[in-house]
Structure formats: structure tokens, C-alpha cells
Amino acid sequence: MTLATALPARSTLVDRVVPRSLISDAALVIAGTALVAALAQVAVPLWPVPVTGQTLAVLLVGASLGAARGAASLGLYALLGAIGLPIYSDAASGWSVLVGPTGGYIIGFVLSAAIVGWAAERRWDRGWLKAAVTFIGGSLVVFAVGLPWLSYSLGGFGLPNDLQATLVAGFYPFIIGGLIKAAIAAALLPAIWKAVERNDRTEA
């Protein structure tokens, strides 16, 4: 018996319903990118950072696909938007967006999906409390990358970019929405897991 067969596989939600292969992995990565792109268009316009459905999609993609595929999906999202596909919020695109005030959030999506996916591979998406901690943490990761980037950009525009000004521009308006999105994900993923496991018991 090898080490690989002795250790349990770190499966995610999609691994329970989609056979694992290179082709399926590629398709799931693309599907994750498409989901983020779609929810990015659900937006409340604010400057410099709009309120969008992207973070919810990032959490769902990371938890469903796992660390590697989740990060790849969000990396593909960042790349395709940068080279011209209108998939960023408000159908925006281009390198100017990626290096602009919101670029740090887009890069933060990649890290967030990886961390949420890592936690999901260790079953943190299967109960509400652990899922809530995971998804709130994943949301905070986005801000951890996005806020310093935003501060630098605000300074480049000649605007106040001290800590308070940065939080007012890029954190405070999103607290309630972020908690709601984390709660939605924390309710949805465990519910889907229960349905999948119930179906497995029925088929057995």
C-alpha cells in the first residue's frame, strides 16, 4: 500500500459529483471563472470600489473546487479581464483596472479562493459554524490584499490615503454586504453537502 492510497483523498463538493480528470478540472476552472464574471455584473456602483457579487462567487468557487482549482479559476478571471474580456465589475476590462484602485481586490480573490479551498478540503465547508469562519476569513483575505493597494492608488490620485481614509473608501461600506455574502455561502455549502450525502445513502 502506498502513502497515496493509505491517506484519505481531500475531496471537495464537486469531486463528489464530477469524476476527477484533467478535462473535468479544466472545465470546472472555466466554469468558476464564468460564475465570478457573471456575479461581478451584479453591482452597486460606488467609487473607488463598487459593491458586487464577486466575493460571494469567489467563496463558492474556492469551497467547491478546492485550493488549486479555485486559485486557478480566479487567476484566469484576473488574466482574461486584464487582456480585454469585459468580465470585471460593470463589464470593465484592461490592465488599467488591474493596476487601478480595485486591482488589489482582484488579486486578493486568487488568494482567498486558495485559502477557502484549502479549508474546504479539510471539511470546513460542511457545518455552518466552521463554514462561516472560513468564508468570513476568506472575505477578510480579499481586504488584506485590496486595502494596501487601494491606499497606494488613492495617494496616486492625490487623495487622502491614511488608514482611516482607506477604510472609509474600501472597507466600511462593505462590512454588512460581506457578512451577508459569507452567511449565504455558509448556509448554502453545508446544505448542498447534506443533500449530496443523503443521496449517497439513498443510492447505497
Q: Please tell me the total count of domains within the chain.
A: 1
Give the dihedral sign, CA 162/177/88/66. Answer: positive
- C-alpha separations of 9 from 4, 5, 114, 162, 178 in Å: 8, 8, 17, 46, 31
Supply the DSSP symbol for 9.
Answer: P
Give the amino acid at 61: V
C-alpha cell at position 155: 495617494
Evaluate whether residue 204 is within a structural domain.
no
Is 5 within the bounds of a domain?
no
The mean pLDDT value of the chain amounts to 89
What domain range includes position 83?
Answer: 18-195
In a domain, 202, yes or no: no
Domain assignment present for 1: no
- Does residue 121 sit within a domain? yes
Residue 203 lies in a domain: no
List pLDDT tens digits, range 34-74: 999 999 998 766 665 667 889 999 999 999 999 999 999 99
**CATH code at position 107:** 1.10.1760.20
Does some domain include residue 90?
yes
* Residue 11 pLDDT level (bands cut at 50, 70, 90): confident
Portion of the chain with pLDDT greater than 90, in percent = 73
pTM: 0.89
Cα separation, 10 vs 41, in Å, equals 33
| pLDDT of 83 strictly over 90 | yes
Query: Rounded to an integer, what distance in angstroms lies between the CA atom of residue 142 and that of residue 171?
Result: 10
* 141: exposed, middle or buried (Cβ count in 10 Å: 0-12, 13-18, 19+): buried
Residue 104, in any domain of the structure: yes
